[in-house]
Structure 1
Amino acid sequence: MSTSGIAVVTGAGRGLGQATARALAEREYRVVVAARSLEAAQPVVDAIVANAGEALPLALDVADPASIDAARDELLAGISEAWPDAKIEVLVNNAGIGLFAPLEGITADDVDRTFAVNVRGPLLLIQALVPHMPPGARIVNLSSSLSRHVSPATAVYAASKAAIEALSRSLASELGPRGIRINTIAPGPTATDFNGGAMRDNAEMRHGLGQQTALGRVGEPDEIAHAVAAFVSSDLRWVTGERLEVSGGVLL
């Protein structure tokens, strides 16, 4: 039986979100597995429960403000019934989208979709949940190492991640008086299904990126998840408004 509070993880049906949900469950958080559909969330919930954890699925499309409002109401009702003694102590804004194109290939829709998911979604979800989070709660937003170094055809994605970092710093100041801290994790190249699973499945790409990384390889999802878990631990209770790059030292 979990003894800690509730952790909400977005984009938790796969990749980094799934790994983060499971890592937090292993640390005895009651995890809300938020994904675009209940069907996507349920296998992760089942895996957590099979490992003696506690979890609930939540349908959430962060690109849709109406979905955020509906998910908040569903979340509060669900935890009131399942875990009435627990509070929302952790929010991990992991859900993201990457639309990559060179300058001449960028469309207005690419920009709008990227910022709707990567920036507006986390902002509106924080706005929706903060009133229900106690002093001492923690928020982690997912950025990217691409907010620090450059790569062709990544301008829109990188700009959205720079924006989420600026948003996090500003909100850290605003939420500090409430005792809520907010930080950013910036993963480097990681072997997930993001961008079609290229960094997971393309051996040539993995090798090339590994040669550009101080530790000689791309990252694994659990390595990012464990960094998130560390950021929300009490050991880092005096850290807020910070960006931690978890990239193995890519392009130093």
Structure 2
Amino acid sequence: MALPLDVADTASFPSFREAVTRALEENWRGASLHGLVNNAGFRLYSPLETVTEAQFDGLFLVHLKGPFFLTQALLPLIRKGGAIVNLTSATTRVATAGIAPYASFKGGLEVLTRYMAKEFGPRRIRANAVSPGAIRTELGGGLTDEFEALLASQTALGRVGEAEEVGRVGEAEEVGRVIARLLTDEFGWVNGQSIEVGGGYCI
């Protein structure tokens, strides 16, 4: 089920929680969430000296403030023993020119993940971060052939990751599989961690 949400509009979060509560009751006869994945995002390519305050604020709202207050709003719905996964980025570890605000807020989300794990631990709610490396997606307008070749050359496995089925065994939903596992009891003892899924990017 898809429900509309603007992660940059924190004032809408209480009504969104009400919509989620109704959806749980009407469609699944339940009142709790098994997990929460904070995955909204967009990227801006701009050198530090040309980033505007409006661009900075827009990135901040979506990548750090939004996940913070959305998690706060939905926390009462997350069941005991549930899990939170925050999507960060390998750019928090490897500096890439032109994306300083994006990477900075993703770094903040990585730190926030550890605090979530600490503070939500008494409720047995786990929190982990997944940090994708170079993945073929439409974020930031997608990858040009030249840029993809560069990223592949910097990755130990010699290619970029796949977000969708491409007909090659083992390469579908490479990030999604990790997220899904972190939401299960199978990974119930993994908590407060940042797991990079990047095929050995810049090691």
Structure 2 unaligned runs (5+)?
A: 164-172
- Kindly report which structure 2 residues correspond to 1:22-37, keeping only aligned pairs within 5 A, or say none: none
1:239 to 190, 194, 199: 190
Q: Is the 8 A contact 2:31 2:77 kept in 1?
A: no
How many Å apart are 1:100 and its aligned residue? Answer: 2.0
User: Partners of 2:64 and 2:45 in 1: how far apart?
Assistant: 16
| AA aligned opposite 1:172 | A
1:217 to 146, 156, 159: 159
Cα RMSD (Å) of the superposition?
A: 1.0
Q: Which residue of 2 aligns with 1:59?
A: 4
Q: Is the 8 A contact 2:39 2:87 kept in 1?
A: yes
1:184 to 111, 114, 129: 129
User: How many pairs were matched up?
Assistant: 194
Q: Which residue of 1 aligns with 2:77?
A: 132
User: Partners of 1:85 and 1:139 in 2: how far apart?
Assistant: 19
User: Partners of 2:123 and 2:45 in 1: how far apart?
Assistant: 38
- Residue 101 (1) aligns with residue 46 (2): yes
User: Partners of 2:30 and 2:59 in 1: how far apart?
Assistant: 37
1:151 to 80, 84, 96: 96
Normalising by structure 1, report the TM-score.
Answer: 0.75
Q: Cα deviations across residues 23-75 of structure 1 (Å, max 9, x unaligned)?
A: xxxxxxxxxxxxxxxxxxxxxxxxxxxxxxxxx11000010012222211111
Q: Is the 8 A contact 1:92 1:140 kept in 2?
A: yes
Normalising by structure 2, report the TM-score.
Answer: 0.93
SS of the equivalent of 2:81 reads coil
| AA aligned opposite 1:236 | F
Q: Is the 8 A contact 1:100 1:156 kept in 2?
A: no
User: Partners of 2:176 and 2:85 in 1: how far apart?
Assistant: 11
- Residue 78 (1) aligns with residue 23 (2): yes
How many Å apart are 1:86 and its aligned residue? Answer: 6.0
SS of the equivalent of 1:136 reads strand
Q: Is the 8 A contact 2:8 2:58 kept in 1?
A: yes
Runs of 4+ in 1 over 3 A off after TM superposition: none
Q: Is the 8 A contact 2:94 2:202 kept in 1?
A: yes
User: Partners of 2:22 and 2:30 in 1: how far apart?
Assistant: 13
How many Å apart are 1:216 and its aligned residue? Answer: 0.4
User: Partners of 2:136 and 2:12 in 1: how far apart?
Assistant: 29
| AA aligned opposite 1:237 | G
| AA aligned opposite 1:157 | Y
Q: Is the 8 A contact 2:56 2:101 kept in 1?
A: yes
Structure 1 unaligned runs (5+)?
A: 1-55
How many Å apart are 1:87 and its aligned residue? Answer: 2.7
**RCO comparison, higher one (Cα < 8 Å, 6+):** 2
How many Å apart are 1:147 and its aligned residue? Answer: 0.4
Q: Is the 8 A contact 2:35 2:183 kept in 1?
A: yes
User: Partners of 2:124 and 2:22 in 1: how far apart?
Assistant: 25
SS of the equivalent of 2:30 reads coil
